[in-house]
Amino acid sequence: MAASVALAAYEAADRTGIGDFVDFSLFAAAAKMTEWAPARALFMGQDSSRAGSKASSPWGIYKCQDGLIQVLCAEEVQWQCLVTLMGKPDWSQLEVFATVADRQANRDLVDMYLGDWFAEKRVADVYHAGQRAGVCLTPVHTMSELGEDSYFRERGFFYQSPEGPLLPGPPYRIDKPWWRAAPPPRSGASRGETWRERRLTRTTAPERGGAQPLEGIRVCDFTWVWAGPFCTQLLAHLGADVIRVESRERPDYFRRAPIHPVGMEPTLETSGVYQTFNSDKRSIAVDLRHPDARQLILDLVKHSDVVIDNFSVGTMAQFGLGVADLRAANPSVVVASLSGYGQTGQRAHYMGYGPVGGAIAGQFTANGYGRGDVMEPAIAVGDPSMGLSALWGLIASLTARRRTGESATLDIAMTEATAATFGELWMEYVTTGENPIPRANHDPQWAPHSCYPAAGDDEWVTIACTTDAEWRALCTVVSPNLVDDKRFADSESRKIHEDELDKHIAEWTRGRDRWVITRKLQAVGVAAFPSLSPLELWSGDRQLAAIGMLEVIDHPVTGARAIPGIPWRFQNARNGLRRPAPLLGQHTDEVLAEVLGLDGATLSDLHDRGVLR
């Protein structure tokens, strides 16, 4: 995210001669990617608890004969497909499993029956059979299994580096050569070379509140749920005019998410999740199935810089809006398609929700509280990984288009984007030959590095030391005697005796207030901070509010309320949210009149004929 914002700011400076300073908060960026938790806290006043790998049912990881498989039935039809795949066993017809709510209430029984069935199957067999049957099944890979997966080989994701090891490739594909494998720079290798001198043309100081980096860029947005809308929201935060193309016939799942303001009747306009990820956008309502919708969209594409979708592979083409159609309408438009497995290959039509990325990319097997403990993280990392990869690819493509006159088509596969994110885990595997194991909150090199119990119910504080100086500073607060303990004399010794070290620190933290611990350790230069719940973070964290990450904005239906803001601040360009998330089709007439010049009579006719709805 930070790299994309920096690239956008650089591109604006190169184009206008006006530079800027970007204050980017990693804290705020991480907070923005906590999925449903902000909406639950800000719209319902509810906290989010640790649900492990069982956020709904069936949704979990099961043992097969030769490995692990992830099951994710997000909709009722997928449960029915799974039941059919299993041969409709008698237990699946019991009343206690009749609905999603029933299965959630009895998920231990569901896990037991599914566990027995999967235990007799091989991962590859059930994976491919399940996907063909309409069930989102995914192998839970180790890093070695990731490297052996034929899908990644078929797509050419891995490449042989000049230095020897097999390495992950870029997180997206582009329709022209744009990168090459090169060895890492050696120390002093560039000595004598200089950066190309570049002087900005402006000599007077720019005014504050000036143009944002992507102002003037129009995005035709066919995305929905999280990955795509997250990307386009960040484009909108950077100043782009993002026009969401929606439909009342099949509204965005996030509009239907069960998080709404307390006491308010749920509608498509009250979803806190939708409002969290769609601020700063406009919305038009078009029934893409109507025969006259295609030309209307192509006319809009003629006036757009970017077209982006995250539908199933082939959906845009079914509407007559495939890449060739878009290119014919506007040869300069940048096209990006986001999908689970990419636009090509034998698995292009496989289902791929956000959690699939972490499962197939080897994250789950390295996540947990110890060896053999495999756990799905609380956040579906595949979604933000794919969204951020698309963000960088789009800004880079727009930059290249301005310089070369050539456009680009991007193919972003969530599986590849997620695998590219876990470079450290992959490098641990290729350099040691061992698959990474779950380390809880520990670091491969540093100790102490963990989350420790504090006074109170389920209250914790994180503490980390990365140098001997920080360790000695920690000892002055926790126990001066520890500094002379030979078991903890240096970083290597502390890692060897990490369990004993953690016990010493936990004994000290357990009876103390986490904020008191934080202040004492921060005062001596030791990294420490309370482990906040989402409700604590979004309802009262002063730092989050101080950096502008919590903004009150007036929504036409839910009224004025705080929503997540923008993780960065420009010194010269305008900051802050421009508009709340749109109502479904709120800007239909406005956009079509402004962009296409349609008059009232034409718009009324389009409404009457059901093209706009």
Each residue of 49-62: pLDDT tens digit? Answer: 776 545 567 999 99
Question: 11-44 pLDDT, tens per residue?
Answer: 999 999 989 999 999 999 999 999 999 999 999 9
d(CA 43, CA 219): 29
What's the pLDDT at 203? 47
How many CB atoms neighbour CB 180 within 10 A?
A: 7
Edge-to-edge strand ranges of the sheet holding 449-453: 449-453, 460-464, 527-530
* 226 plus 101 within the same structural domain: no
Domain annotation covers residue 102? yes
Domain annotation covers residue 87? yes
* 516 plus 557 within the same structural domain: no
What's the pLDDT at 210? 87
* 573 plus 604 within the same structural domain: yes
What's the pLDDT at 190? 60
d(CA 91, CA 73): 17
Domain annotation covers residue 297? yes
d(CA 246, CA 285): 5
Domain annotation covers residue 462? yes
- Beta bridge partner(s), residue 555: 559
What's the pLDDT at 74? 85
Cα angle: 404, vertex 410, 413; to 5 degrees: 155
What's the pLDDT at 572? 94
* 382 plus 478 within the same structural domain: no
Place of tokens 């090169």: 182
Task: Tell me the residue length of the chain.
Answer: 613
Question: What sign for the dihedral angle of Cα 253, 257, 260, 266?
Answer: positive
Question: 236-261 pLDDT, tens per residue?
Answer: 999 999 999 999 999 999 999 999 99
Q: Among 139, 167, 198, which residue terminates a domain?
A: 139
* 511 plus 557 within the same structural domain: no
Domain annotation covers residue 189? no
Mapped onto helix, strand or coil, the DSSP state of residue 98 is coil
Q: In this structure, are strands 218-222 and 173-174 parallel, antiparallel, or unpaired? A: unpaired
d(CA 212, CA 138): 41
* 406 plus 455 within the same structural domain: no
* 223 plus 332 within the same structural domain: yes
One-letter amino acid at 612 equals: L
The candidate with the shortest Cα–Cα distance to 206, out of 433, 18, 16, 3, is 18
What's the pLDDT at 196? 57
- Beta bridge partner(s), residue 219: 242, 306
- Asked whether 338 and 390 are in contact (CB, 8 A), the reply is yes
* 120 plus 23 within the same structural domain: no
* 68 plus 33 within the same structural domain: no
Question: 341-389 pLDDT, tens per residue?
Answer: 999 999 999 999 999 999 999 999 999 987 778 888 888 999 999 999 9
Domain annotation covers residue 545? no
d(CA 205, CA 158): 47
CATH number at residue 504: 3.30.1540.10
What's the pLDDT at 176? 81
What's the pLDDT at 44? 96
CATH number at residue 218: 3.40.50.10540
For the chain, the distance separating the N- and C-terminal CA atoms, rounded to the nearest angstrom, is 34
* 415 plus 507 within the same structural domain: no
Q: Domain range spanning residue 387? A: 16-45+209-421+553-608
- Beta bridge partner(s), residue 308: 221, 336
* 412 plus 528 within the same structural domain: no
Q: Among 139, 157, 181, which residue terminates a domain?
A: 139
- Asked whether 219 and 306 are in contact (CB, 8 A), the reply is yes
* 243 plus 366 within the same structural domain: yes
Q: Among 95, 118, 139, which residue terminates a domain?
A: 139
Number of domains in the chain: 3
Average pLDDT, the chain: 93
Domain annotation covers residue 160? no
- Spell out, as residue ranges, where the chain has pLDDT lower than 70: 51-56, 188-209
- Beta bridge partner(s), residue 23: 569
Q: In this structure, are strands 306-309 and 218-222 parallel, antiparallel, or unpaired? A: parallel
What's the pLDDT at 193? 54
One-letter amino acid at 355 equals: P
Domain annotation covers residue 453? yes
